[in-house]
A and B are shown apart, each in its own frame.
Chain A
Amino acid sequence: MENRPFIGPSLGIYTGTGASHSWLWFVDLFEKAGFFDLTFLDEIDVRRGGLDGLDGFATAGGDTFALAEALGPRGAEQLARFVENGGIYLGSCAGAYLPMRSSKIPLDQFNFVDVRITNLTSALPTPQRMAGKFCTAYGCRFVFHPVRETVTLVIDGKSPAAGSLIDAPLYGGPGMIAAGDAQVLANYQGFTDKTLFLTDRRLAEKTLIGTAAAVRQEKGRGVFYLFGPHFEHPRYPEANRFLLDAIKEEMDRKPVGTEKPTFWRRNARPSKAGKALVRDVKRELSNARIVAAGLEMLPLQWRIGEKIYEPTKIRVFLDSLWRRIRPLEKADHVHFTPGCDAKMLRLALEITETIRTMKHRIDENLDATPQAKELFHRLQGLSKAFLQLYFDTRAAEAMSDFASFTPIPGELN
């Protein structure tokens, strides 16, 4: 690492089936930290060995069952091998539930970490509000969510920060009780005036306070980190710092890597066609954004899998890409893996078309859920491809600034 310009550790981010939009928060956090060597993986990439060579792999929120089902036994195997061989697994919310011990199919393939969750019940308490966000069936029991939004955590363990308090947002993540080798890093300490109670306060306190919010467990040469709240959420700098420090500590423990940055191995090249591609993607992002903004103020929501999506989430994706257009327009060369451009453009065009169809259907009072489902699928796909291009370009730029580093081989095509 020392003999190359800083583009951070090689980190993977899960973008595939079961992921909601919260993986974009990891993207923002890593970019802010100057980590440009990012790899975006869906379930197929994971199953095909895409975790090989990565230092870390982050999985954020979403639908745990869908996630586990998509990854399947192959994915579970790859994940286990990744950590055994020294990988750092970072899971928040659904990403935290995934590797816990469970006897439920398909979660039983991911029995890696010795924790129990405290927000599991067979007698479901009555929700006070947001009934739809209150619980998920888990076999014959229920995973329920007593509160949402900001909670206060207390740092545990031997670190110098032990005892200090930080805020983090909870959107359905677990309260945990560690067993075996699992080590508690932070506990739920209390609620804030921003905490939204979905059940009565006493039950919420009983379920969460004093239980673990962040847990670390070593496995082979690697390690699992489980975060109940979204430590990666952009509006919680203390929680962000905690997460980044954890990555840094783990990296310091690792033997110095000899691996090339992953964007090299992906064969991302500077391309003259890149500018035109960025322009074409920009056009469609604008087209889609315009429709999305119009949908946003309508009280609408769609159910996709086990999740509820509001139109605003469309814009979370679109804006995340939109604000990265400008730097690409300014970049000398846009780097991407040959072949990904046609796919990206097709997805961008389909997104515009789908969202326009949704608008027409909503205007005519027709259900737009199937289109919404398609749309989110395509948004995930485009975000994955586009952000890969973006970070390959940023990484290549950072590397080419470094004199001792020869630029990427290969002609401008």
Chain B
Amino acid sequence: MGIKIDALKCTNCMACEMACGYHRDDGFAFLSACIVPYRAREKKDYFGVLLKEEDSLVVARPEGTEINRIGEEADPDKEADASAKPMLLREACDLCEDMKYGPMCVKICPVDAISVAE
């Protein structure tokens, strides 16, 4: 199971980010959300949604979804010590397992751009 995002439907409203932040912090906040509408290309009107999962960062772009593995070496020839665990502050999506509404981002998205995929 996982979260599926239709970036073309998305209107970049940030509600999912808020709902996920609420799930983490029990208040209204964005800082711990693992789902984040991408809005840094404002002048180009280019937006989509980022989702942090356990091993990957999902980038839902209008032109299609791309999955980046987290912690994988850019340059596999180099060596490194393993104790530098990527302590990503943002917890990975847990599908809101402890929430009575289930996945909060799915519930809140006003335009149904987010769904749960089997």
Contact = CB atoms under 8 A, between A and B. Distances in A.
A and B in direct contact, judged by CB atoms within 8 A: yes
Interface of A: 20-22, 61-64, 93-94, 129-137, 145, 148-149, 171-173, 198, 293-294, 296-297, 299, 301, 303, 306-310, 312-313, 315-316, 319
B76 interface: yes
Contacts of B71: 130, 132-133, 310
Interface in B24-70: 31, 36, 38, 40, 50, 52, 57, 68, 70
Secondary structure class of chain B's binding surface, majority of residues: loop
B78 interface: yes
Contacts of A319: 89
B83 A173 contact: yes
B107 interface: no
Secondary structure class of chain A's binding surface, majority of residues: mixed
Contacts of B50: 297
B85 interface: yes
> Which of B50, B73, B75 has the most chain A CB within a 10 Å cutoff?
B73
Contact of A62 (B57, B83, B86, B87): B83
Nearest to A306: B81
> Which of B50, B52, B70, B81 has the most chain A CB within a 10 Å cutoff?
B81
B82 A148 contact: yes
B87 A308 contact: no
A303 B83 contact: no
B111 interface: no
B80 A133 contact: yes
Contact of B73 (A21, A132, A135, A198): A132
B117 interface: no
B89 A133 contact: no
B78 A136 contact: no
B84 A198 contact: no
B83 A135 contact: no
B90 A312 contact: yes
> Which of B31, B68, B80, B84 has the most chain A CB within a 10 Å cutoff?
B84
Contact of A136 (B52, B57, B80, B88): B80
A297 B76 CA distance: 22
A172 B72 contact: no
B98 interface: no
A299 B86 contact: no
A308 B84 contact: yes
A282 to B, nearest CB: 16
20 contacts: A20-B84, A62-B83, A130-B72, A131-B73, A132-B71, A133-B81, A145-B82, A148-B82, A171-B82, A198-B82, A294-B40, A296-B88, A299-B57, A299-B68, A303-B80, A306-B79, A308-B73, A308-B84, A310-B88, A313-B86
Contacts of A310: 71, 86, 88
Contacts of B1: none
B76 to A, nearest CB: 5
Contacts of A135: 79, 82
Contacts of B99: none
> Which of A132, A172, A309 has the most chain B CB within a 10 Å cutoff?
A132
A21 B83 contact: no
